[in-house]
A and B are shown apart, each in its own frame.
Chain A
Amino acid sequence: MPAILEVDNLVKKYGDFEAVKGVSFSVEEGEVFGLLGPNGAGKTTAISMLTGVLPPTSGTARIGGYDILTDMDEVKKLNGLVPQDLALYPTLSARANLSFFGRIYGLKGKDLKERVEDVLRIVALTERADEVIEKYSGGMKRRINIAAGLVHHPKLLFLDEPTVGVDPQSRNHIFESVLRLNRERGMSIVYTSHYMEEVELLCSRVAIVDEGEIIALDTIKNLIALLGGGVIHVGLQQVDNSLLAELSALPAVREALLAQQTVAPPLAEGEAPEAKESEPISTSSVVKIVAEQSQQAVVNVIGFLNDRNITLTSLEILEPNLESVFLHLTGKKLRE
């Protein structure tokens, strides 16, 4: 499949702050591509540059073969944007909103009417199309927000956190709409979210974004495979490097790493800090064990600790999903 979107080292700076730090990725035609990351990771800024809302500081991108730096007018015709905000006029009806957004993309007359009816059908709000938006529920507003980005039939649709503040029923409806647009109409979609369940459900490939950078990009299966057979967090009173090496050598364990250091050992009088850094490690720590096979690894780890008479303070087996991948890669939770 040819790429509909190719992003090349895109950067956005606000003074000294770098909101997007040279991201590069591509999206194939007909693909649903996910940008997963916590709030403030730079997802919306990246989308804003790709849709012409913000100029990039450096780098570029091509959409449908058009460069965003030189052919933004053409790019804008191919793009559809569903912003995170409910970007609708609350005192106008849904139909009036959609007609307006259709008009600014050059639609008129019968064509405009047909497109408006079409997108109303997609979001299943034809019956209530003449009601003013302010009378809609949050979920219905979200659906019309999506419809407004679709009315001109874009080739590439950017959905920026489209389910924020939506009830489960409307959320499911939005998922169905996205999948139908992709499967039935072949629309390419860039879907940003901080909900890993949504990205797992909708996207074939995902870029995990944190602090303006893409820290991993692959299919969901491959990203989860980064965790091997799963991740186990083991809480111990004391950890040293030899213990980590022994844990790493256990059968069904791929790797054992220090995940969390809660209490730093005090420096002795006159002792240089760099000398302390080489010391085995601390008290009350969490060891992250990347397993080949999680159940077998748990049995082996517990048996090993019992044999050595080491006290286990906590044990957590992480489900192999994108949340765990994000935690594994950044040490943070997605919704922190």
Chain B
Amino acid sequence: MNALHIARKDLQIFFKDRGSVMLLFLLPLLFIVIFSGALSAIGSDSDEDTRILLPVVDLDGGEAAQTLLEGLDAAGGIRVELYAQAEARTLLDERKLARVLTIPAGFTAKLADSQQVTLRLINHPDADAEGTEAVRLIVEGVAQDMSLESQIFASLRQMADMQANAPEEFQVFSMERTMAQARSQFERSRTHPLVAVVQTVPGQEGEREEMPDPIQLAVSAFTVLFVFLTSQTAARSVYDEKKIGSFRRLLAAPMSKASLLAGKMIPNFIMGLIQTAVIFAFGIIGMRLLGLTPMTLGSAPLAVVLVAMVVALCSSGFGILIAAIAHTENQISGLSSLLLWVMGILGGCFVPLFILENFLGPLPKIVPHYWANRAFNDLLVRGLGLADVIMEMAVLLAFTALFFALGVWRFDFD
């Protein structure tokens, strides 16, 4: 009970200090706006079209030519740009283009008549071999599909013609209906191929995580960073009590030392939760008001709340540890800055975890920030549920127990 009285008093004192309140709640929001903007920019850079340019001279201009162009574009890996024949020739000669594909005149008509047509792909001798090979494979693939489609349609048309001459009772399918069904089958085979082929480059065989939504990423990362930074508040509160002498008064009162320390942890815990709520509310509402993409709470909001509680608890435990090992205001500032910011950097609060892990290996796992970020990422970015973050929560609780035990052990009650 005394712990609650101390907590209530500390919260009263904290909320009277408007500067600290602003710092604690507005600073993370500012960070989120700035960093989500920056990450969005990085994200848009990564969206830059890196496909191989395929200049095309369309001498046909018909429906089949258009289908071919769309097929090439949709095949992935190459980006189609149309050129006039003369311009393409000049640019190719000047080595400003690596290759040019020419669709001959009469391409559509010949295909309709099931006549053979030839697409001409001219490669500059200096064009990179890999690109040339990739383009050749893609063009051949799309052309084969078109050939197949054209041949099947021709067959169907023949069948329909034959059926037209048959007695009425045998005319089960109209030609239009048969053709539409065939088209639908082709469409489906494009979007849902029975066999999918993925091209990989040596060294990138591993699963590459998608770049998460920058807003989600920034919100969860800065929530973790700032909730842990709140642990300074517990340390400062203990220091202030000692400085003004009220700590002696508390020690002389009928309460256990555990109650005293719990009383110092509870405000930290509550502030951590309020901070999380404010940051998330900003991520959902504020981002929308700012015209940015709002964050979502994923598919398991209850799990998000539980993770937020565990993170706030871990931060409170860390506060007691700082209070135990730092004895002056400068030590608290220095130690907090050093440890909390380094832990934040290491734990993925500034650089996404999948990038960090690429060059730091398992090192980030030694800080609680890593597990907190992982739990939030799993819930907010990947849309996973409570069962998927049990391990992260257990690790955070273990960190909490460790921090608290070390704090109590090293705490100077004298």
Q: Which residues of A contact B (CB under 8 A)?
A: 48, 51-54, 73, 76-77, 79, 81, 83-92, 96, 100-101, 103-106, 148-149
- B255 on interface, CB distance cutoff 8 Å: yes
26 contacts between A and B (CB under 8 A): A51-B248, A51-B252, A52-B251, A76-B253, A79-B252, A81-B248, A81-B249, A83-B249, A85-B248, A86-B245, A87-B244, A87-B246, A88-B244, A89-B13, A89-B244, A89-B246, A90-B244, A92-B12, A92-B13, A96-B9, A96-B12, A100-B5, A100-B9, A101-B249, A148-B249, A149-B249
Pair B252/A52 contact, Cβ less than 8 Å = yes
Closest to A73 in B: B254
Partner of B246, one of A84, A88, A105: A88
Interface residues of B in 1-46 (CB under 8 A from A): 2, 5-6, 9, 12-13, 16-17
Taking CB atoms, residues of chain A closer than 8 Å to B251 are 51-53
Inter-chain CA distance A220–B152, complex, in Å, is 123
Interface residues of B in 231-288 (CB under 8 A from A): 244-246, 248-255
Taking CB atoms, residues of chain A closer than 8 Å to B244 are 85-90
B300 → chain A closest CB, angstroms: 39
Closest to A14 in B: B414
Closest to A79 in B: B252
Taking CB atoms, residues of chain B closer than 8 Å to A96 are 9, 12
Given A104-B255, A105-B254, A91-B248 contact (CB < 8 Å):
no
**B-side interface mostly:** helix
Inter-chain CA distance A28–B38, complex, in Å, is 74
Pair B13/A105 contact, Cβ less than 8 Å = no
Given A77-B254, A92-B13, A104-B253, A84-B245 contact (CB < 8 Å):
yes
Closest to B251 in A: A53
Taking CB atoms, residues of chain B closer than 8 Å to A48 are 248
Identify the interface centre among B9, B13, B17: most chain A CB within 10 Å of its CB.
Answer: B9
Taking CB atoms, residues of chain A closer than 8 Å to B245 are 83-87
Pair A91/B2 contact, Cβ less than 8 Å = no
Pair B248/A105 contact, Cβ less than 8 Å = no
Partner of B414, one of A54, A79, A89, A105: A54
A75 → chain B closest CB, angstroms: 9
Taking CB atoms, residues of chain B closer than 8 Å to A76 are 252-254
Inter-chain CA distance A100–B254, complex, in Å, is 13
Inter-chain CA distance A329–B37, complex, in Å, is 77
Q: A52-B251, A96-B12 are in contact. List 16 more A-B contacts (CB 8 A).
A: A48-B248, A51-B248, A53-B252, A76-B253, A81-B249, A83-B249, A85-B245, A86-B245, A87-B249, A91-B16, A92-B9, A103-B2, A104-B2, A104-B6, A104-B250, A104-B253
Q: How many residues of B contact A (CB 8 A)?
A: 20
Pair A87/B12 contact, Cβ less than 8 Å = no
Identify the interface centre among B5, B17, B253: most chain A CB within 10 Å of its CB.
Answer: B253
B13 → chain A closest CB, angstroms: 6
Q: Which residues of B contact A (CB under 8 A)?
A: 2, 5-6, 9, 12-13, 16-17, 244-246, 248-255, 414
Closest to B10 in A: A89
Inter-chain CA distance A217–B177, complex, in Å, is 118
Taking CB atoms, residues of chain A closer than 8 Å to B255 are 104
B12 → chain A closest CB, angstroms: 6
B394 → chain A closest CB, angstroms: 35
B243 → chain A closest CB, angstroms: 9
Taking CB atoms, residues of chain A closer than 8 Å to B5 are 100, 103-104
Taking CB atoms, residues of chain A closer than 8 Å to B16 are 91-92
Taking CB atoms, residues of chain B closer than 8 Å to A105 are 253-254
B352 → chain A closest CB, angstroms: 41
Inter-chain CA distance A31–B132, complex, in Å, is 105
Taking CB atoms, residues of chain A closer than 8 Å to B13 are 89, 91-92
B4 → chain A closest CB, angstroms: 9
Going nearest first, the 8 A-B pairs with the smallest beta carbon separation are A85-B245, A87-B245, A76-B254, A87-B246, A51-B252, A81-B252, A103-B5, A53-B251
Given A92-B13, A104-B5, A83-B248 contact (CB < 8 Å):
yes
Inter-chain CA distance A88–B252, complex, in Å, is 14
B239 → chain A closest CB, angstroms: 14
B167 → chain A closest CB, angstroms: 100
Pair B249/A106 contact, Cβ less than 8 Å = no
Closest to A44 in B: B248
Inter-chain CA distance A103–B6, complex, in Å, is 9
Taking CB atoms, residues of chain B closer than 8 Å to A79 are 252
Taking CB atoms, residues of chain B closer than 8 Å to A100 are 5, 9
Inter-chain CA distance A79–B6, complex, in Å, is 20
Inter-chain CA distance A57–B6, complex, in Å, is 29
Inter-chain CA distance A53–B241, complex, in Å, is 14
Inter-chain CA distance A89–B13, complex, in Å, is 8
Closest to B240 in A: A89
Closest to A91 in B: B16
Taking CB atoms, residues of chain B closer than 8 Å to A85 are 244-246, 248
Closest to B5 in A: A103
Inter-chain CA distance A101–B255, complex, in Å, is 12
Closest to A55 in B: B414
Taking CB atoms, residues of chain A closer than 8 Å to B254 are 73, 76-77, 104-106
Taking CB atoms, residues of chain B closer than 8 Å to A87 are 244-246, 248-249
